Structure 1
Amino acid sequence: MSDGPKYIVINFRFAVYASDASPTLPHEIIELIADFLWDEPVQLARCCLICCAWYHAAKRYLSRSVTIRSTRALGDLGHILVSKVNRPYGRSLRSLYIYENAEEPYAHTFSMRVSGCLLSKVEELCIFRLDWVTTRPHTSFFTYLNSFGTVTSLTLYQCCFRHAEVLRTIVDALPGLTDFALVSITVHSAPQALDSIGENLLPSAKRKLQSLQLSGCVSRDYASGTAHIESFHQSVLNVLAFYTNVNTLILDTTQFLSFSHFLQFFCAFPELHRIYCRKVPEWEPPSDEAVLNGVGKDMKAFTDVFLGEVSSAFAAVFFKLFAKRCCELRTFDIVLVDVPGPEFQAAIDKVLRHSGAVLRDFRCRYDQEQSQLGITPSLVYNTALERLDVTFTVASSLRTSWIYKTLLSLFTQLRSPCLEHMSICFSLREPGVDAGVNLDTDMETTSLDITIFHAAICHEIFSSLLPGRVLLQFTHRHPRSPSLGTSPFDAKPTPCELCTSIQSFVVPLFIPWLSRGVIQIHLPDGSLIVDPPCLDSGTPEVRSDNSPEFDRAVVRPALDSI
């Protein structure tokens, strides 16, 4: 059953004529003319120049990408491209998407029926649900595939192969390929010996790929009851591991059956610069630190690290292994699915210390307990940080003392005068359908508390912040939402009392930034605060004392008490 009404957007404009005396055409006739010209894209492009009505009628047949879902559609594309008049259309295409038809397979012949010479600008090729276990590729398939010399990105989605070496054959057949993505790929035969696969790869082939993506879940991709899954999938990893010049790796940890398999594959790429690891694996990371000794010593320094929706245990072990490889880290992004502990905090601090003044972009999102001070990143070493994005996901009851201490701890650790953007989000997660969300005002801010907070945010390192570059968000998320993000689609109506309580507590703290127009405060009901309160509202006077004496006498003792 559908969750709600579905809408089809139809772009429509009335035709524009030179004068009222000109003969007019019903819009249905314009649509029929565009339909008739479906195989003449150059004529359709000319139709787009007539007026808005003709433009919207013809544009639905014109795109930078082509999607093929049947052998007839493949034949139609070939028919269009062979016409000399349509050669400019072939040169305008950038992406080709091929969906295999299980009832009438055709993808095993597409490279022969549509020559790559007619698609001389296509850069992206995506093939979906290919099954070469039941239908083998044509004997000339790879010969003709070589004509797609401009393809730099190849994605294979839910494809089945007889053996893993087919992957190497496909890569070798595309001379310009640099980015290779495998999503839920399976093979159905035992692998060759690892050494024999390596002998078939020339040194130039090993240097070919620059980016490699491996997504899906091994235990779910293979049919239930399939024997030898581990050896079959290991053969895929063995083939991919020989492209040792890969510098960007995008991995789902669910593609590995153990931590040792993950580590062995990961360390096969000594030229890595950018790493993206996602999802929670079905295995537990090792607790014995002796296993981690000596790993990754020959790898180069990382420049970008993204860990998405991983456990804090996996993240802690990962950074214990590769913290020293983060001395050139520029972008650091981590999303956790659980509450981090001391080991995670120590590992993150070590990475931030090694990255030092090189780090430019830091983002972290994770669940947070309020039993203690929020685990805020230690950014004292990152003196050239330009972008900061922190999200704390908390239970339904949010305490004002915890908000105050977490924000104060975060701002007093910042040492970068280069900050261009800051986003701090408190995401309120309901524990149950009937449970409400409220703010526990366990702390009544005194004039001294507000003065200390003002002193922290009025520090000279924040003087270069431009208007609107700081976002403080309080969002309310559905319990069923799997995302740790703050999409407005996750929000639901929130009682006015909660927004009023948050506003009355937070606004006095940020009067200096509100006065400068630096900060925007987003409340759970979607309202936005950008202006400071009126002077007669009883708000304490703003004090911005940046002197070392004031810092030592007031701010530091307050932080020590926290």
Structure 2
Amino acid sequence: MSKPLVNRRYSRVVQHLSVTDNIAEPFVHTFPTRLPGCFFTSLTSLEFCCLDWTQGRLHTYFFSYLRHFSAVTSLTLTQCRLRSSRDIHRIVNTFPNLAVISVDSIVIAHKANAVLTVQHPQLTLPAQRSMLTGICTWTYADNPNPFDPEGCEVLQEDVLSTLSSYSSVAELSFFLSQFISFKRLRHFLEAFPNLHGLDVEGEPEWEDLNDQFKASPGRPANMLEFQAWKELSFSFMSAEVMHRLLEHCTTRSRRVHGLCMLMSDLPCPALLQIVEEIVQESGPELEEFRWEVNDDVLAQGSELNAAETYYMLPDFFECNSRLKHLVIDLPIQSAPLHTSQLYDALLKLIARIGSTCLELLILRVMLPTAQVDDTDKEHTPLFEQPNSHEDIVSPFHAILSQKRFDGLTGFTDEAHRPVILKFSFFGGVFPPSEEVSLLSDVIQALVEVLFEPWLKRGLVRLELPSGDEIDDWQEVSTDASGSDSV
């Protein structure tokens, strides 16, 4: 190829471009000379895969031509071998509007020379004009289970040091297992005085958690004042680790706009306490709250099937007057399901929502499967048939009819509703279809009675254990009336 190969009409609409090098016959070093960046005016996301700059030299004008991809705001480097930390800096500084860099399985071949770094800091420090706002180090390459810490390599020290030099970064995404210790993680976080967003996944492989999380220093001296975290998101980790991370984050600010938690075990009292403190101190600034349990992990041990297990449910949202999105998982501890137990949990939660701005409410009820007795081969029934709903209807309707929920409105797309009630099984042996069908009928009848004020407004979508989904309640009502008249 001796001339640029570009269809100008199509190049103007391309938004993402992924370029994977051929190790046997590398070509990416000439890539920007063949695809002039000035033609890709809509290209905002660029990815380089399998670069190996430890062998051979780059095209003389590689970075000069690469600079013409001026619309790029997001850059990803995947499974790349670079000569030194300078290569990362040169790539980042080439894109004038780059905001986010993602690095996945990056190796720096030559470690930084400490003496040379002191004498010539420009060799390792990024140009002052670089204004990165986000860094992501999630690693998915060659890992069938990206949330398994064994599939995540510890980040190379030179990579960490290089990324730490971009002090303008405000949002970070990473796996805990990519850090050799909490101390190293803490030092990494302290490099970003503008930090106000964290997205962290996975369980660390640190040996002694108590030693790792010993009292850490307070707010770093270089930390800029800010009102609240934009978002704190912690996923696929134990409640204990989640609690410790929140403790550290609150040294910077005890308020947050978005708090999202996905636990791999049951919440502990310490976690519930610090979450309650954060939610209350956030007040009207809290706009999103997610409290979820990874049912795949729980199913392995069937932890919630133990009668002595107590699941703590957050119900402290009176002061969050601007809360928009609320997602709560409610595991039922043991079979059979008592409708009174479900009613109490729902009433307690909904009654304490103080927001007048609620746009989305998702409640997922996680049902235990039947546990078979090896002695008599009998199993516990999935539910107990309720005698009557009369005693519970009025208080529930009174809550749903309050003016604070007037902001909940149905979407123009009939497939979406602002209130989603999900009922699903986890763990154990999946029950017989006949029992699942009966349980689904009981749940549907309960929802029809309790949520009648919202059903009339077209707000509710119901997902039943049987797999059926209901969001057109007028049709259900018509079918029921027709059946009664027969």
Q: TM-score range by the shorter chain?
A: 0.7 to 0.9
Q: Is the 8 A contact 1:386 1:418 kept in 2?
A: yes
* Deviation digits for residues 289-327 of structure 1 (CA, Å, limit 9, x no counterpart): 652231456253311222222321221111112236455
User: CA 1:453 to 1:211, structure 2 compared with 1: closer, same or farther past 3 Å?
Assistant: same
The CA deviation at 1:97 is 1.4
The CA deviation at 1:178 is 1.8
Please say if 1:372 is aligned against 2:321.
Answer: no
Q: 1:528 aligns with which of 466, 470, 477?
A: 470
Alignment of 1:239-254 (within 5 A): 239-254=162-177
Q: Is the 8 A contact 2:49 2:77 kept in 1?
A: yes
Q: 1:451 aligns with which of 375, 394, 401?
A: 394
Q: Which residue of 1 aligns with 2:353?
A: 414
Where 1:314 maps in the other structure, the secondary structure is helix
Please say if 1:471 is aligned against 2:420.
Answer: yes
Q: 1:424 aligns with which of 350, 363, 378?
A: 363
For residues 91 and 110 of structure 2, the distance between their equivalents in structure 1, rounded to whole angstroms, comes to: 18
Q: Which residue of 1 aligns with 2:328?
A: 390
For residues 463 and 240 of structure 2, the distance between their equivalents in structure 1, rounded to whole angstroms, comes to: 32
Q: Is the 8 A contact 1:99 1:127 kept in 2?
A: yes
For residues 323 and 452 of structure 1, the distance between their equivalents in structure 2, rounded to whole angstroms, comes to: 38
* Deviation digits for residues 244-291 of structure 1 (CA, Å, limit 9, x no counterpart): 011121222222121111111112111123221122222268436652
Q: Which residue of 2 aligns with 1:462?
A: 405
User: CA 1:172 to 1:282, structure 2 compared with 1: closer, same or farther past 3 Å?
Assistant: same
Q: Is the 8 A contact 1:285 1:313 kept in 2?
A: no
Q: Which residue of 2 aligns with 1:287?
A: 210
Q: Which residue of 2 aligns with 1:498?
A: 439
Most deviating of 406-415 and 320-329: 320-329
User: CA 1:384 to 1:220, structure 2 compared with 1: closer, same or farther past 3 Å?
Assistant: closer
Q: Which one-letter code corresponds to 2:321 in the other structure?
A: T
For residues 217 and 448 of structure 2, the distance between their equivalents in structure 1, rounded to whole angstroms, comes to: 50
User: CA 1:402 to 1:392, structure 2 compared with 1: closer, same or farther past 3 Å?
Assistant: same
Q: Which one-letter code corresponds to 2:408 in the other structure?
A: L
Q: 1:507 aligns with which of 437, 443, 448?
A: 448
Alignment of 1:9-24 (within 5 A): none
State the structure with bigger RCO (CA 8 A, min sep 6), 1 or 2: 2
Q: Which residue of 1 aligns with 2:135?
A: 212
Q: 1:269 aligns with which of 192, 200, 207?
A: 192
Where 2:112 maps in the other structure, the secondary structure is coil
The CA deviation at 1:243 is 0.5
Please say if 1:181 is aligned against 2:105.
Answer: no
The CA deviation at 1:173 is 2.4
Structure 2: 5+ residue stretches without partners:
145-152, 295-302, 411-416, 481-486
User: CA 1:265 to 1:438, structure 2 compared with 1: closer, same or farther past 3 Å?
Assistant: farther
Q: How many residues align?
A: 438
Q: Is the 8 A contact 2:260 2:290 kept in 1?
A: yes
Q: Is the 8 A contact 1:98 1:107 kept in 2?
A: yes
User: CA 1:173 to 1:358, structure 2 compared with 1: closer, same or farther past 3 Å?
Assistant: same
Where 1:440 maps in the other structure, the secondary structure is coil
Q: Is the 8 A contact 2:324 2:360 kept in 1?
A: yes
For residues 385 and 207 of structure 2, the distance between their equivalents in structure 1, rounded to whole angstroms, comes to: 39
* Deviation digits for residues 514-547 of structure 1 (CA, Å, limit 9, x no counterpart): 3443323221222316538979x9xxxxxxxxxx
User: CA 1:284 to 1:379, structure 2 compared with 1: closer, same or farther past 3 Å?
Assistant: farther
For residues 186 and 461 of structure 2, the distance between their equivalents in structure 1, rounded to whole angstroms, comes to: 43
Q: Which one-letter code corresponds to 2:421 in the other structure?
A: L
User: CA 1:126 to 1:464, structure 2 compared with 1: closer, same or farther past 3 Å?
Assistant: closer
* Deviation digits for residues 427-477 of structure 1 (CA, Å, limit 9, x no counterpart): 447699999996332875653333333333333422443244222111346
Please say if 1:80 is aligned against 2:19.
Answer: no
For residues 472 and 173 of structure 2, the distance between their equivalents in structure 1, rounded to whole angstroms, comes to: 39
Alignment of 1:28-67 (within 5 A): none
Q: Is the 8 A contact 2:422 2:463 kept in 1?
A: yes
User: CA 1:295 to 1:503, structure 2 compared with 1: closer, same or farther past 3 Å?
Assistant: same
User: CA 1:424 to 1:293, structure 2 compared with 1: closer, same or farther past 3 Å?
Assistant: same
* TM-score, normalised via structure 1 length: 0.68
Identity %, equivalent residues: 26
User: CA 1:282 to 1:531, structure 2 compared with 1: closer, same or farther past 3 Å?
Assistant: same
Q: Is the 8 A contact 2:358 2:405 kept in 1?
A: yes
Q: Which one-letter code corresponds to 2:93 in the other structure?
A: D
* TM-score, normalised via structure 2 length: 0.78
Please say if 1:191 is aligned against 2:129.
Answer: no
User: CA 1:456 to 1:323, structure 2 compared with 1: closer, same or farther past 3 Å?
Assistant: farther
For residues 310 and 444 of structure 1, the distance between their equivalents in structure 2, rounded to whole angstroms, comes to: 41
The CA deviation at 1:209 is 0.9
Most deviating of 103-112 and 407-416: 103-112
Alignment of 1:152-191 (within 5 A): 152-191=73-112
Q: Which residue of 1 aligns with 2:283?
A: 356
Q: Is the 8 A contact 1:218 1:255 kept in 2?
A: no
Bigger Cα Rg: 1
The CA deviation at 1:241 is 0.5
Q: Which one-letter code corresponds to 1:124 in the other structure?
A: S
Q: Which one-letter code corresponds to 2:132 in the other structure?
A: L
The CA deviation at 1:120 is 4.3
